[in-house]
Structure 1
Amino acid sequence: MTGIEWTEVTWNPVTGCDRISAGCDDCYALAMARRLKAMGAAKYQNDGDPRTSGPGFGVTEHPAALAIPRKWRTARLVFVNSMSDLFHAKVSEDFVRSVFEVMADTPQHTYQVLTKRPERARKLAERGLVFPPNVWLGVSVENGAVTHRIDSLLKVPAALRFLSCEPLLGPLDLDRFLFPTGCSAGCGCRRPDDGDRFECACDGECTDWSPRAALDWVIVGGESGPSPRPMHADWVRDLRDECVGAGVPFFFKQWGGRTPKAAGRLLDGQTWDQMPQGGAAWTAA
């Protein structure tokens, strides 16, 4: 089991990562890997680059861990790689495919894959990587400077797409993702009011057209640790209101503080534990 409110169990066929943006600065997994290495944990003896990673946090594939989900007798909601990023460049394409094979072969489980590298997920999908219907794909988005990750996410053929805005470090406007009005080429392609498919207003002559589907779920949380960076309440309220207006499930994980539970989880006197019931259908251009 796990203390993460929006999942049931974690599964780590890969460990280790490298910091790439402000949201990584106080990475809980990096600090945990350092402790696990000191304790002698076998999976955390490979050190990463000290400039971007640290002791016990070098990217490492664990083939033996691939068998774990096949042994679970009951259906579970599974957070994949809480201690890594499956789409890190140092994770071999063959191993990524092996992880996806396990997920496809165990449809009784639902898998939540969270990445800061959705562009690689998109490229692998173009190379034939199939996203099974029981796989949810999400991206970490800490502020408005990294919304390009959402653009990449929406080009991946995942059954359900979500955001983890934790730690939320600045204001974030999701209107253009929650209320899509056209194609990436900006030529007037629109979603019909009565359907899910996008229709090309220029008779299919777009050369850079990709559908923008509404996001299926948004998670928001503040930072925790010895020196947590503050999260403004208005940032959270804006995201909640956008999600409510779009009919998208909203999950408020925590305000953060020295410990994750230090300031509780209430937003304007209410707990927001909304979960998605299914994924929006992905349609190619």
Structure 2
Amino acid sequence: MAENSKIEWTDHTFNPWIGCTKVSPACDGCYAENLMANRYHRVQWGAGEDRQRTGKTNWRKPIVWDKAAKEAGTRPYVFCASLADVFDNEVDEMWRYDLMSLIEATPNLIWLLLTKRIGNVMKMTDPARGHRMLPRNAAIGATIANQPEYDRDRMKLWEVKQSLEPLFTFGSYEPLLSRVVLDKYAPDWIITGGETDQGPHKARYTDPDNFRYLRDQSRELGRAFFMKQMTRKAPIPTDLLVRQYPEAA
């Protein structure tokens, strides 16, 4: 559940637990559900279903990555969690506390915490509520599939940036389901991509010009832009093959 990643914008993936509930149009073709629930029958997706914590061996891997990064003088990215959501309401709070402790114990890693529940971040990192604070080496991202999600969540992510001071903020516009108009509250890093087929769910097509529109807006706003993939992983047009990273402290 944790190894060098095939995801283009990160170095490693780490899953502290597995399982989730669909809460966004982006979830319709969830690859994690297709893999862990439908193919391997490891967990059941949905509200009220148990999340499964991964084992101790898996939890030790970031310690190894951190040691290697320190020796090499690098700061690799760790995407957490590709098969779950860190800020899921149905996750045992102690699991999240343990995760924040692990992140804090690996300062040579840059942790990418991507969530579809950006509204939970402030309260779930509030010490006054008994939670562990967001570590300084964590970046916070929100999944944004269309304009309504951007309009709903951009200020929540902005509040996280202003109040918790993460390393940086990012938005995963994947799958991008419609044209999205950004503004000055857009996150520091814009990651986008098309959908792939997942079991019976067929990928929804994205007009390449919608990716170009995000690219151009990112440039105008001074945001880093990363084009991950086209619909069904078709070849990326040369003019869209832009893979920038944000400046990280």
Whether TM-score is above 0.5 comes out as yes
- Tell me how far apart the structure 2 counterparts of residues 48 and 236 of structure 1 sit (CA, whole Å): 30
Which residues of 2 match residues 194-205 of structure 1 at below 5 A? none
Identity in percent: 30
TM-score, normalised to structure 2, is: 0.84
Q: Is the 8 A contact 1:17 1:59 kept in 2?
A: yes
Instruction: Please state how far the C-alpha of 1:32 moved relative to its aligned partner.
Output: 0.7
Which residues of 2 match residues 1-285 of structure 1 at below 5 A? 1-34=4-37, 37-38=40-41, 44=42, 46-49=43-46, 58-62=50-54, 64=56, 65-72=58-65, 73-75=67-69, 76-127=76-127, 129-147=132-150, 148-156=152-160, 157=164, 158-178=166-186, 215-225=187-197, 227-257=202-232, 261=233, 263-266=234-237, 268=239, 270-278=240-248
Instruction: Please state how far the C-alpha of 1:150 moved relative to its aligned partner.
Output: 2.2
Count how many residue pairs are aligned between Structure 1 and Structure 2.
Answer: 227
- Tell me how far apart the structure 2 counterparts of residues 125 and 35 of structure 1 sit (CA, whole Å): 32
Instruction: Please state how far the C-alpha of 1:159 moved relative to its aligned partner.
Output: 2.2
- Tell me how far apart the structure 1 counterparts of residues 197 and 33 of structure 2 sit (CA, whole Å): 13
- Tell me how far apart the structure 2 counterparts of residues 21 and 155 of structure 1 sit (CA, whole Å): 21
Q: Is the 8 A contact 1:166 1:222 kept in 2?
A: yes
Unaligned runs of 5+ in 2: 70-75
CA deviation profile, 1:16-51 (whole Å, cap 9, x unmatched): 11111211000011101135525xxxxx2x3234xx
Q: More deviation in 228-237 or 164-173?
A: 228-237
- RMSD of aligned Cα (Å): 2.0
Tell me the equivalent position of 2:73.
Answer: none
* Paired letter, 1:152: K
* Paired letter, 2:185: F
Tell me the equivalent position of 1:183.
Answer: none
- Tell me how far apart the structure 1 counterparts of residues 188 and 196 of structure 2 sit (CA, whole Å): 26
Q: Is the 8 A contact 1:110 1:135 kept in 2?
A: yes
- Tell me how far apart the structure 1 counterparts of residues 38 and 44 of structure 2 sit (CA, whole Å): 12
Q: Is the 8 A contact 2:33 2:45 kept in 1?
A: no
Matched position secondary structure for 1:150: helix
TM-score, normalised to structure 1, is: 0.74
* Paired letter, 1:61: R
Unaligned runs of 5+ in 1: 39-43, 179-214, 280-285
Instruction: Please state how far the C-alpha of 1:233 moved relative to its aligned partner.
Output: 2.0
Instruction: Please state how far the C-alpha of 1:82 moved relative to its aligned partner.
Output: 0.6
| Shift in alpha-carbon separation, 1:267–1:93, aligned structure 2, 3 A | farther
- Tell me how far apart the structure 1 counterparts of residues 22 and 190 of structure 2 sit (CA, whole Å): 22
Matched position secondary structure for 1:10: strand
